[in-house]
Amino acid sequence: MKPVLLTLLATVVALFPLYAQNQTITEPAITSPKEKIETIILPDLVLKDASLRQAIDTLKNSIIKANTAEPNPAHRGVNIVLKMPPGMAEKYTINLNMKTPTPEAVFLEIAKQSECLVVSEPYAIAIVPNTESVPPDQLISDHSVSVEGELQPYDSIIKASKLESLADILKKVPKIEIYRFYIFRSFNPALIFDVGISDQSCTVEWKIIRNFGDLNENYRVTQSSMIPLDRPEIQPLLEILKGADFWNLPKTLPTKPSTDGSDWVVEAVKDGKHHLVIRCNPLTSASPNADYREGLLVGAFTYLWALTHQMDGELY
């Protein structure tokens, strides 16, 4: 070996310990059990008359199998600890029938049926009695938006539609995308447009709901149809909602309620989120200073009205 190369090699060897001392060794980020389960979608989960321990074991194994993003099989899944007084766990029977749920949704359903709390600990998810005192920031709770009371005046109409609650659908299928448009009119039948979105196509189901009981509110669906559409046909509606900044629109505006006219409602679920927007007389209550987004929101309704050729009465 040439003298120059020997000198260079000796210099590198001499400097290496100094270089190593000045290097910062980056430890891999530690993912908490709660953070880990938020990235996992489980296969369909069905349990009948299972004990609480059996339900927890089944959930634990399902999480391990679904945690394919973790390259090291030994690190897949999360630790689940059942912290119950002796004999308490045997009191409960768990029944589950959930379609592609999140682990969080399963934890909450198990907790609901067993009167327990789900607690996020540094190295485990714990199931504890609901009498335990737990800091709120450690609780895994149901973050879905409850619309109970918001649409209470129209409860009879919505029940007559026989459409499943979007909040319930979201718990079962977190990654689903659905937009539901309601038009509640004083002098004409109610209209509901249910828009289901997928990557390549979508469906629009519309219903006309009439009252046959006058003041007794005997509502029935008198017309209903399902329209399959290609993605390009529904894309304008999605662009209108995007332009209206739908997911950030306030739920209500400070407009005066009226017994005449109409209420327009958009309820939507997407990627685990739920949002509700309610507008009273949106066509007649608009002012010159109105937010442009409100005009686009009206445009979304009129686009569906025209797309489905639904001209039952006036749009107001």
CATH number of 152-307: 3.30.1560
Query: 246 exposed, middle or buried (CB, 10 Å; 0-12, 13-18, 19+)?
Result: buried
Q: Are the C-beta atoms of 234 and 241 separated by less than 8 Å? A: no
At 46 the pLDDT is 92
User: In Å, how far are 12, 82, 139, 140 from 37, measured between CA atoms?
Assistant: 47, 17, 14, 11
> What's the pLDDT score for residue 176?
84
Q: Kind and range of the H or E element at 75?
A: none
Alpha helices in 173-256 (DSSP H): 231-243
User: In the beta sheet, which residues pair with residue 120?
Assistant: 125
Where in the chain are all domains bearing CATH 3.55.50.10?
33-138
User: What's the 3-state SS for 114-127?
Assistant: HCEEEEECCCCEEE
CA distances from 108 to 22, 105, 112, 265 (A): 48, 5, 6, 29
pLDDT at 292: 83
Token output for 141: 């709770």
Instruction: Work out the widest C-alpha separation in the chain, in whole angstroms.
Output: 105
Domain with CATH 3.30.1560 in the chain: 152-307
Residue identified by tokens 């990235």 is 39
Residue 312: predicted pLDDT: 64
Give residue 11's pLDDT band: very low, low, confident or very high (50, 70, 90): very low
What single letter denotes the amino acid at residue 173? V
Amino acid 7: pLDDT: 44
In this prediction the pTM is 0.57
The dihedral built from the CA positions of residue 17, 21, 22 and 24, taken in this order, carries a sign that is positive
pLDDT value at 197 more than 70: yes
Contact 174, 105 (CB under 8 A): yes
User: Taking residues 163-186, what's their average pLDDT?
Assistant: 85
Distance CA(192)–CA(132), nearest Å, equals 44
pLDDT tens digits, one per residue of 66-117: 998 889 999 999 999 999 888 888 888 999 988 878 888 899 888 888 888 8
Q: What's the pLDDT score for residue 5? A: 37
CA distance 5 to 68: 48
Ranges assigned E (strand) in the chain:
45-51, 80-82, 93-98, 116-120, 125-129, 177-185, 190-197, 201-211, 219-230, 262-270, 273-280
pLDDT per position as a tens digit, 231-243: 888 999 999 999 9
Please measure the distance between the N-terminal and C-terminal CA atoms of the chain and give it in whole angstroms: 92
| pLDDT average, residue stretch 189-211 | 91
Tell me: domain 33-138, CATH 3.55.50.10, correct?
Answer: yes
Residue 266 has pLDDT above 90, yes or no: yes
Angle between helices 103-114 and 52-66 (to 10 degrees): 180
pLDDT above 70 covers a percentage of the chain that reads 80
Averaged confidence pLDDT in the chain: 80
How high is the pLDDT of residue 257? 52
Query: What is the rounded CA–CA span in Å between residue 126 and residue 82?
Result: 6
**Pseudo-torsion of CA 161, 167, 173, 179, nearest 10°?**
60
Q: Which two tokens stand for residue 290?
A: 């109105």
